[in-house]
A and B are shown apart, each in its own frame.
Chain A
Amino acid sequence: MRRAGRTVGSVIVALVLGSCGFTGDLSRFGDDVLVMSNLAEPGSLDPALQSGVEEQRITLALFEGLLSYDPKTLRPRPGLAERWDVSRDGKTWTFHLRPSTWSDGRSLTSADFVYAWRRVLDPPGTHREGSADYAVASPYADLMDVIVGARKYRRGEVDDFAAVGLATPDSQTLEVHLEQATPWFADLVCFPTFMPVPRHVVEYERERWTHAGVMISNGPFVLDERRPGAFLRVRKNPRYWDAETVRLESLVYLSTDRVDTALDQYLAGESDWVRGFNPLKARAWRADPELGRALHAPDYLGTYFLRFNVRRPPLDDVRVRQALTLAVDREAITRNLTAMGEKPATGIMPPCLVTDPPWRSLRGRGLDHDPHRARALLAAAGFPAGKGFPLLTYSFNSDVKNRAIAEAIQAMWKDVLGIRVELLNREKRVHLARERAGDYDISRGSWIGDFNDPVTFLDFMRSGAGNNRTGWSSRRFDELLDAARTESDSAQRIALLQAAEEILMVDEAPLLPIFHFTTAYVLRPGRFAGIFENARDLHPPKFIRRLP
């Protein structure tokens, strides 16, 4: 009788606990597991839909494109294409695929790439002849504009996909025709937007195709389990063509979105890698030898800046913009406020950008901190000692760091120029919507390079470009970028782009550069190999292994 009672009791306990939705132990794959705090719930796992770094980290495990990133240098290396040729004019790229399969054993061919790329270019609702059945709106579709006809097709100006420069001479060959020589195309095809997707699953399962148990991919890992808001786990893909190189059995991405919670999880040994850091804790961590060794902050391919709305007086006057720029002591900001090794900025180009020949920084020849010149320029613009200068607003999206920087700059402008600005703190989506609508005076912004080429840091400021948002335009600037596009000599090309940067950041100053980013992360020392500091914070999981 008592035994029966106990049984009933334990069944009830099991039922109650079973309905609590516990995630259970995540490391059921033995020791070769890496648990990472990814710091945000990933959006879609569909490569065509990706826009954030959180998803890209997962995509690098699940998929492989034509080429893939070298873990140390990030230079493109063979991926699904075992080799590739570029025609002499740089406009025709031929990729030779190695024999490989999807994780369900189906062979992967050049047609899979054509399907995936076409799907990126075809927004939903267009229903053109031969379009993907399950179409999506790809936020990075414009990266494909370098391909012949892609831009027109994407915008619905041409309906015939044959006009897009893709060809498959056979199942193992993909030929891509580019509008111009595009040296960074090799880098582009490593990006999620260019990754193949399994048509046989996508069209059949549609929105559900990225669910665990359904999803088929072609990378070193496959999706094992996913709990929105909690974690995502991938496990080794035995059918990956280079499965021998893959050493980790499994990777867990925790969706912890508060960085302080993630750091606590690290301290409690629940994760080994936190993809972010709270700069307020930098001093304490660096003071501790063990924690100090875990904290990394390499330079990152991005720049933090302010946009001036040049449609609004007095910001339509270049002297005012230059004066506001010269008045800001950017070194003081990186030294005292950001404090994670960020470099003060004079130009838009981050110092970790690798070019051949090397990029000549504007530091020392651009609008560096110079209070004297700032005052003189403001006086010349008709506002001696700031007299008569209207009250401008400085908007930023709510964030401790943004606020500290805004307050510092507000004080600098008051001290140096004698002008007042009002700080406007807005929620992120509101901030972005207002910025896009041109409804601001001065607005905080940033730009992260899409690929390793100076073009990515200049193109977005072309006249009328969607990300320009300042109302500024310059024919000379656009012409220099156009000239660089057709220039085949590398040194000449870099010279043209440098001239463009000078117009943007010195002569015209629609942007006020503050600093170049670093990416701080915390990685348990001595536990993993194959993770290298690099300029885009990309760490292909294929090469990571756990140390004994």
Chain B
Amino acid sequence: MLTRLLLGVLTLLAILVASFFLQRIAPGGPFDLERDMPEAARQALIREWGLDRPVPEQLGLYLKGLCRFPPDLKRSMVQPDYTVWEIVGPRLQVSASLGFAALCIALVLGIPLGVLAAVHDGKMADRVTMLVALTGVAVPAFVLGPLLKWIFALELGWLPESRWVGPANMVLPAFTLAALPLATAARLVRSEMGTILRGDVVRTARSQGLSERRVVFVHALPGALVPVIPWLGPATASLVTGSVVVERIFDIPGLGTTFIDGAFNRDYTLVMGTVIVYSILLILMNLLTDGLLVLLDPRARSARS
């Protein structure tokens, strides 16, 4: 576990260095405006931000700031009223709650759907469920989002159309974001469940005269969930990238929009801050799923030791 943690820190460092240099390769800078600012002011800003120094030196200074406690993420270059943390913090809260809600929807609906399909293998219920799942995979968020918005907000008026005023605002974006992981979860469970239902464990259980419900939920389901666990890592990644699109569609003040705007504005410090938050999130999620897997599946434990 300690090695994995160390590896995580190294990964983070590699991501930081790569993003720092990649940003500087892109032409244009934070102070290129439609109407030129006076040269004296421009030079003063470049000096103030240390942009006149060699890039490796800038990186060194930046990393040094990060080692402080609390880590110094600097001010935003384009929105100088705020430190990067003052911008990223509240937005992380928003994105995290949206992502968490979507993940809950995906698991709470996706797993039962997968079970349903597996139990009715080849029958109508299976076909309908898998059609729904396939649609979830095939229809991208930028189509599903506006569609849901049009039906439930603009036509029916049941739910708010956009923004992040209260819990009702969460429904449409969370479902839009959940579509893909929901479909994936359902398919994962269905295929694993199908194998298990045909296997020895279930045959033994059935031969003992247990009810079908007991067989499915007590004997088969835990095994069927095993492939879902390692998938949680990539699922989180897809929620993170998906939220970039969904936040735009529903005008949600989350991290995704900050990241995109920051990149377009060449707001170097803001982009770095967002990258750090995203990376830590993904690395932690992967560590967590690894740990969970070891706990649930004895085979993983022996394979690793």
- A283 to B: closest C-beta gap in Å: 19
Q: Which residues of B contact A51 (CB under 8 A)?
A: 33, 35, 37
Of all chain B residues, the one with the shortest Cβ separation from A123 is: B44
B21 CB within 8 Å of chain A: no
* Bound complex: CA A433 to CA B26 (Å): 11
**A44 and B167 in contact, given A20-B93, A137-B41 (Cβ under 8 angstroms):** no
CB-based contact B164/A228 at 8 Å? no
* Bound complex: CA A24 to CA B140 (Å): 30
CB-based contact B93/A228 at 8 Å? no
Of all chain A residues, the one with the shortest Cβ separation from B149 is: A264
Hey, what's the 0/1 contact readout for A429-449 against B, CB within 8 Å counting as 1?
Answer: 111111010000000001110
Interface residues on chain B, number (Cβ under 8 Å): 60
Hey, what's the 0/1 contact readout for A238-260 against B, CB within 8 Å counting as 1?
Answer: 00000000000000001111100
CB-based contact B253/A227 at 8 Å? yes
B261 CB within 8 Å of chain A: yes
Comparing B5-13, B83-91, B223-231, B279-287, the segment that makes contact with chain A is B83-91
Q: Which residues of B contact A428 (CB under 8 A)?
A: 28, 264
* Bound complex: CA A261 to CA B43 (Å): 38
Of all chain A residues, the one with the shortest Cβ separation from B95 is: A21
* Bound complex: CA A101 to CA B248 (Å): 41
CB-based contact A429/B81 at 8 Å? no
Comparing B54-62, B153-161, B177-185, B187-195, the segment that makes contact with chain A is B153-161
Q: Which residues of A contact B37 (CB under 8 A)?
A: 51, 137-141
CB-based contact B264/A466 at 8 Å? no
Pick the contact of B251 from A26, A137, A258 — CB < 8 Å?
A258
Q: Which residues of A contact B26 (CB under 8 A)?
A: 430
Of all chain A residues, the one with the shortest Cβ separation from B88 is: A228
Comparing A265-273, A348-356, A377-385, A514-522, the segment that makes contact with chain B is A265-273
CB-based contact A432/B90 at 8 Å? no
For chain A, the bracket of interface size reads: 35 or more
Of all chain A residues, the one with the shortest Cβ separation from B36 is: A466
Of all chain B residues, the one with the shortest Cβ separation from A465 is: B36
* Bound complex: CA A21 to CA B170 (Å): 11
Q: In chain A, residues 126-171, which have Cβ atoms closer than 8 Å to a Cβ of chain B?
A: 126, 136-142, 154-156
Q: In chain A, residues 255-314, which have Cβ atoms closer than 8 Å to a Cβ of chain B?
A: 255-258, 261-262, 264-265, 267-268, 270
B79 CB within 8 Å of chain A: yes
CB-based contact B80/A44 at 8 Å? yes
**A137 and B42 in contact, given A265-B163, A429-B266, A434-B27 (Cβ under 8 angstroms):** yes
Dominant SS at the A interface?
loop
Pick the contact of A19 from B34, B93, B153, B164 — CB < 8 Å?
B93
B169 CB within 8 Å of chain A: yes
A467 CB within 8 Å of chain B: yes
Of all chain B residues, the one with the shortest Cβ separation from A431 is: B28
- A1 to B: closest C-beta gap in Å: 27
* Bound complex: CA A447 to CA B258 (Å): 28
Q: Which residues of A contact B170 (CB under 8 A)?
A: 20
Q: Which residues of B contact A16 (CB under 8 A)?
A: 97
B39 CB within 8 Å of chain A: yes
**A20 and B165 in contact, given A43-B78, A446-B34 (Cβ under 8 angstroms):** no
A5 CB within 8 Å of chain B: no
A124 CB within 8 Å of chain B: yes
**A207 and B81 in contact, given A19-B93, A430-B27 (Cβ under 8 angstroms):** yes
A125 CB within 8 Å of chain B: yes
- A55 to B: closest C-beta gap in Å: 10
Pick the contact of B264 from A21, A23, A427 — CB < 8 Å?
A427
A175 CB within 8 Å of chain B: no
CB-based contact A264/B161 at 8 Å? yes
A491 CB within 8 Å of chain B: no
- A304 to B: closest C-beta gap in Å: 12
* Bound complex: CA A43 to CA B262 (Å): 12
Known: A20-B97, A264-B149. 13 other contacts (CB 8 A): A21-B90, A24-B166, A123-B45, A124-B44, A124-B48, A137-B37, A228-B87, A262-B251, A264-B161, A264-B162, A265-B251, A268-B162, A270-B161
23 contacts between A and B (CB under 8 A): A21-B91, A21-B164, A25-B165, A25-B166, A45-B81, A123-B44, A125-B48, A126-B44, A138-B41, A139-B35, A141-B38, A227-B90, A228-B82, A229-B258, A230-B163, A230-B164, A254-B163, A261-B249, A261-B251, A270-B162, A429-B32, A430-B26, A432-B33
Chain A to chain B: the 5 pairs with minimum beta-carbon distance, closest first: A429-B28, A123-B44, A229-B253, A139-B37, A466-B36
